[in-house]
Amino acid sequence: MRTDTGRIIHLADYRPTDFVLERVDLTFELDPTETKVEARLIFHRREGADPNAPLVLDGDELKMTGLLFDQIELAPERYTETPDSLTIRDLPASVPFEITITTLINPEANTQLMGLYRSNGIYCTQCEAEGFRRITFFPDRPDVLAVYTVNIIADKAANPLLLSNGNFLGGAGYGEGKHFAAWFDPHPKPSYLFALVAGDLGVVEDTFVTMSEREVALKIYVEHGKEARAAYAMDALKRSMKWDQEVFGREYDLDIFMIVAVSDFNMGAMENKGLNIFNDKYVLADPETATDQDYANIEAIIAHEYFHNWTGNRITCRDWFQLCLKEGLTVYRDHEFSADQRSRAVKRIAEVRHLRSEQFPEDSGPLAHPVRPTKYREINNFYTTTVYEKGSEVTRMIATILGRDGFKKGMDLYFERHDGDAATVEDFVKCFEDASGRDLTQFSLWYHQAGTPQITVSSSYDASAKTFSLSLEQMVPATPGQTAKEPMHIPLKFTLIGENGAEAQPSAVSGGEVTGDVLHLTERSQTFVFAGIGARPVVSLNRGFSAPVNLHFSQTTDDLAHIARHDSDLFARWQAITDLALPNLTAAAKAAAGGKPVECDASLCDALLAIASDDSLEPAFRAQALALPSESDIARELGANNDPDAIHQGRQAILSAIATAGASTFRSLYDGLAASTPFSPDAAGAGRRALRNAALSFLALSDNSPAGAAEAYAKADNMTDLSQALTVLAHRFPDATETHAALSSFESRFAANALVLDKWFSIQATIPGEGALDRVMRLMQNPHFTASNPNRVRALIGTFAFANPTGFNRPDGKAYHFFAEEILAIDKRNPQLAARLLTALRSWRLLEPVRADQAREALMTIERAPSLSSDVADIVERMLKG
Ligand code: BES
Ligand code: ZN
């Protein structure tokens, strides 16, 4: 492992390389512990570059066994080798030259899962962001684009399959039980998109005919015996390819598109050119083993990685500061894809829930950073929810401001102007400015200013003048390294709802720009006046969550109920329900903290139960309304001095009140939504299951008995219902015999299926209360717990830290100290995984002082530990400082 150097990389220091890489020829002789890599690199000095500048190549824990210059061994005085760099001097001023580097690497010992490693006997690679330098010395940066040829030599029996990027050139035997294959990728690419896979896998095959009538072979490789579980992924892939042609006019550009599923993977999936590599969690699904959420994730991630072929691969990033250029944009594209495949409103609600629970805390805590940062210490730590999800929201706002056609024109220009480039955020924004004629200078602050804008809203109606006034004041909070902020351009979708529920149409608007249903807030404070409004309207603001901001608007309960009943935007209706619920939940937390009885407004119960039983609304929407704000949503609303136990108790009391008031509603919902056959993973079926399981959960509260959930568990014929029933049992009745029986039957039934066992670990890791830590420690002793598998570690330790607020935040701090020890142990084998898990503590400063002190102690234990990785050192130091 590379230990921390503390070096910081600045955007301002960017400059192009002195040498241009023309071609790359790689030959791999695969061996589990001694793989030989020969890299032939053809360079020439860039025009105008310093004629004496040396060639400096990146490495990471590398050992070189040969170095040739134009096929001749290079004299030792002409180069300097260290494990993380190779510097070659006295190179030609203008003519091209060839450097041939031989390295020996050990895939079996690669526990970081970066570079070339082994997963379940399969050779595979992960090179983004800086993994290629663990394979050979190389200019390992995204603005170095080259055409690659790859030769793979390996034992034939163990590795019948030899794959790399691009098109297959040919293969043959290679003496003594070996064979080789050659691949050529005609599209210039940066090294982070390189991939190699070798091993023995099963395959699912299909074809896709593109809009210009080219036939593309589609192959999904999975472990033998799991082929049937790749059918849904294949279907999602074909739908993605079709959608990208129809909506963005983008066609696939090679003869073959391959996906390989592996079981040990740090991330979700990776968009390597023509050869995507996936965490098998996001490929494999069948009704018996995958939940509806799993199916939705597979659809979204298959699409996301496929969409990168244009947004990321054909047009890549100039440097890693531009990461949102590919990730934010591609998340936006996958969100739109899923919205078109499923219910747009329900998808939007889920996105906003996720944004608020993940990105908002990041943006208001010590790890806050702009969507386009200007400095980093460890790039792995910048694959954040801010770069991804806020980056996607920024793209969405461009679409909102320019409108559908303007956005399309800007995207078309981007593809036309930058195809084959390594581009910047400025290049991207310029395309929208040039295509629309609109100045986006102020808007660009969204890329540069961190922090969630806070907007304070007030309104008044003047009956005699028939005017409605809306006053808005924006404030962007200070974030690490950024204290003073400029006002932003915030596009807020809105409508004015009349007494009868119809939308009021103003005769004129003054005070600022309004285009269609979008109000453009550009000043620090601004008052919009709407004329010709006959009766006091109710304003529905930030419809569809058009801007990722927090609104502070004390709308009355009646006004919120009016929106919840009448808004034609389902997202806004859900938001109104949330706004009705939150004050109840925060009051309940405060009451619980003070040992007082918790009360629940009848109006909240009424509104929720009305929605629950409104058959005109889609079941998935009703389930989202019934899900109520989470414990972390409530914590965020409360701001500081959080007591997770009080929040939990208060929320449970509100849920119980709703369960009691709605017992008959939930009973008839549950019975009425009985599983329809045959099972289908589509959005409609998933919605019915979501609503039915929401009802089950309320019934368990009102019955105060495990019997209903135990029966549901026994009858379940799909993983969604089975895991939901198990969750209700484990979370509400952790000590019941029914729960023990269900947990152990689940464990033995799925003992051979790692992905399902992960669910078993996660469900138990999230059982609330003070028994949680002992339970997690006990589960770590379970023979199924494997510390080397990232999915398993995330399922148990990650889920405990991220999703068990009462268990993890026990007041004695024991869980924090346990966590710190685990982070240090994980850091030794897999720094990237350790650093990501550690962000679970990112909101530690909002805890009440006793817990906050314990959390700080635990963080300091990590900070003081010897030989931290740069990944963990970077996170822990920012968390303690910011
Ligand atoms: N390019 C990333 C994979 C990646 C992430 C590589 C971080 C190296 C470091 C890929 O396109 C991606 O974004 N994957 C996401 C899933 C996606 C649907 C948001 C992931 O792996 O979580
Ligand atoms: Zn991505």
Reported as a single tens digit per residue, the pLDDT across 693-728 is: 999 999 999 999 999 999 999 999 999 999 999 999
Task: Look at residue 3 in the predicted model and tell me its pLDDT.
Answer: 74
Task: Look at residue 604 in the predicted model and tell me its pLDDT.
Answer: 93
Question: Ligand 1 centre from 625 Cα, in Å?
Answer: 30
User: What residues does the ion ligand 2 have nearby, CB within 5 Å?
Assistant: 327, 330
Residue 826 in contact with residue 787, Cβ under 8 Å? yes
Residue nearest to atom 1 of ligand 1 (CA): 270
Residue nearest to atom 13 of ligand 1 (CA): 327
- Name the residue of 272, 278, 305, 794 whose CB sits within 8 Å of the most ligand 1 atoms, as the mutation to test its pocket: 305
Residue 431: pLDDT band (50, 70, 90) is very high
Residue 281 in contact with residue 755, Cβ under 8 Å? yes
Task: Look at residue 516 in the predicted model and tell me its pLDDT.
Answer: 96
Residue 6: pLDDT band (50, 70, 90) is confident
Rounded to a whole number, what is the largest CA-CA distance in the chain? 95
CA distance 574 to 583: 15
Region 597-611: mean pLDDT is 92
- Name the residue of 383, 389, 836 whose CB sits within 8 Å of the most ligand 1 atoms, as the mutation to test its pocket: 383
Instruction: Give the tokens for residue 855.
Output: 């959390």
The neighbouring-strand residues paired with 41 are 24, 99
Task: Look at residue 48 in the predicted model and tell me its pLDDT.
Answer: 96
Question: Ligand 1 centre from 512 Cα, in Å?
Answer: 40
Task: Look at residue 476 in the predicted model and tell me its pLDDT.
Answer: 98
Question: Ligand 2 centre from 268 Cα, in Å?
Answer: 9
Residue 257 in contact with residue 354, Cβ under 8 Å? no
Instruction: Give the tokens for residue 173.
Output: 């035997």
Question: Ligand 1 centre from 268 Cα, in Å?
Answer: 6
Task: Look at residue 708 in the predicted model and tell me its pLDDT.
Answer: 98
What's the Cα-to-Cα distance from 468 to each of 521, 529, 539, 541, rounded to whole Å?
17, 6, 10, 14
Per-residue pLDDT tens over the stretch 226-269: 999 999 999 999 999 999 999 999 999 999 999 999 999 999 99
Per-residue pLDDT tens over the stretch 518-546: 999 999 999 999 999 999 999 999 999 99
What's the Cα-to-Cα distance from 47 to each of 44, 51, 52, 418, rounded to whole Å?
9, 9, 13, 21
Task: Look at residue 237 in the predicted model and tell me its pLDDT.
Answer: 99
Residue 570: pLDDT band (50, 70, 90) is very high
CA distance 761 to 749: 14
Question: Ligand 1 centre from 278 Cα, in Å?
Answer: 10
Catalytic positions, written as ranges: 305
Residue nearest to atom 2 of ligand 1 (CA): 270
Region 57-82: mean pLDDT is 97
**What share of the chain in percent tops pLDDT 70?**
100
Residue nearest to atom 7 of ligand 1 (CA): 383
- State the ligand closest to the CA atom of 192: 1
Atom of ligand 1 nearest to the CA of 380: 9
Q: How many CB atoms lie within 10 A of CB 142?
A: 23
CA distance 310 to 442: 27
Protein residues whose CB sits closer than 6 Å to any atom of ligand 1: 128-129, 267-271, 300-301, 304-305, 308, 327, 331, 383, 388
CA distance 710 to 11: 57
Question: Ligand 1 centre from 297 Cα, in Å?
Answer: 13
- State the ligand closest to the CA atom of 276: 1
Place of tokens 């690669």: 110
- State the ligand closest to the CA atom of 330: 2
Task: Look at residue 4 in the predicted model and tell me its pLDDT.
Answer: 77
The secondary element (H helix, E strand) that includes residue 58 is: strand 55-58
DSSP helix/strand/coil, 375: strand
The residues, ordered by sequence, that sit 6+ positions from 533 with a Cβ below 8 Å of its Cβ are 461, 466, 467, 468, 496, 504, 506
pLDDT at 676 over 90: no
The secondary element (H helix, E strand) that includes residue 99 is: strand 97-105
Residue nearest to atom 17 of ligand 1 (CA): 301
Atom of ligand 1 nearest to the CA of 131: 8
Atom of ligand 1 nearest to the CA of 269: 21
Atom of ligand 1 nearest to the CA of 297: 18
Write the DSSP symbol of residue 344. Answer: H
Residue 126 in contact with residue 191, Cβ under 8 Å? no
Task: Look at residue 849 in the predicted model and tell me its pLDDT.
Answer: 98
Per-residue pLDDT tens over the stretch 320-356: 999 999 999 999 999 999 999 999 999 999 999 999 9
End-to-end CA distance of the chain: 27
Region 87-113: mean pLDDT is 98
- Name the residue of 133, 265, 270, 320 whose CB sits within 8 Å of the most ligand 1 atoms, as the mutation to test its pocket: 270
Per-residue pLDDT tens over the stretch 441-479: 999 999 999 999 999 999 999 999 999 999 999 999 999
**Phi, psi angles (nearest 5°) of residue 733:** -130, 60
Task: Look at residue 674 in the predicted model and tell me its pLDDT.
Answer: 86
Atom of ligand 1 nearest to the CA of 129: 8
Write the DSSP symbol of residue 512. Answer: S
Q: What is the DSSP string of 440-478?
A: -TTTTHHHH--S--EEEEEEEEETTTTEEEEEEEEEPPP
Atom of ligand 1 nearest to the CA of 279: 21
Per-residue pLDDT tens over the stretch 9-29: 999 999 999 999 999 999 999
DSSP helix/strand/coil, 179: strand
Task: Look at residue 864 in the predicted model and tell me its pLDDT.
Answer: 98
Region 861-879: mean pLDDT is 97
Atom of ligand 1 nearest to the CA of 305: 11
Task: Look at residue 753 in the predicted model and tell me its pLDDT.
Answer: 98
Region 658-680: mean pLDDT is 92
The residues, ordered by sequence, that sit 6+ positions from 11 with a Cβ below 8 Å of its Cβ are 319, 321, 373, 374, 375
- State the ligand closest to the CA atom of 325: 2
Residue nearest to atom 21 of ligand 1 (CA): 268
Question: Ligand 2 centre from 77 Cα, in Å?
Answer: 42
Residue nearest to atom 8 of ligand 1 (CA): 128
- Name the residue of 267, 279, 283 whose CB sits within 8 Å of the most ligand 1 atoms, as the mutation to test its pocket: 267
Residue nearest to atom 15 of ligand 1 (CA): 268
Q: How many CB atoms lie within 10 A of CB 120?
A: 14
Nearest Cα to Cα of residue 492 among 469, 510, 460, 514: 514
CA distance 319 to 691: 45
Task: Look at residue 678 in the predicted model and tell me its pLDDT.
Answer: 83
The secondary element (H helix, E strand) that includes residue 409 is: helix 391-418
Question: Ligand 2 centre from 326 Cα, in Å?
Answer: 7
What's the Cα-to-Cα distance from 44 to each of 26, 49, 73, 100, 121, rounded to whole Å?
18, 10, 19, 14, 39
CA distance 256 to 218: 6
Question: Ligand 2 centre from 335 Cα, in Å?
Answer: 12
pLDDT at 808 over 90: yes
Supply the mean pLDDT for the chain. 97
Per-residue pLDDT tens over the stretch 419-428: 999 999 999 9
The secondary element (H helix, E strand) that includes residue 154 is: strand 146-155
Task: Look at residue 5 in the predicted model and tell me its pLDDT.
Answer: 80
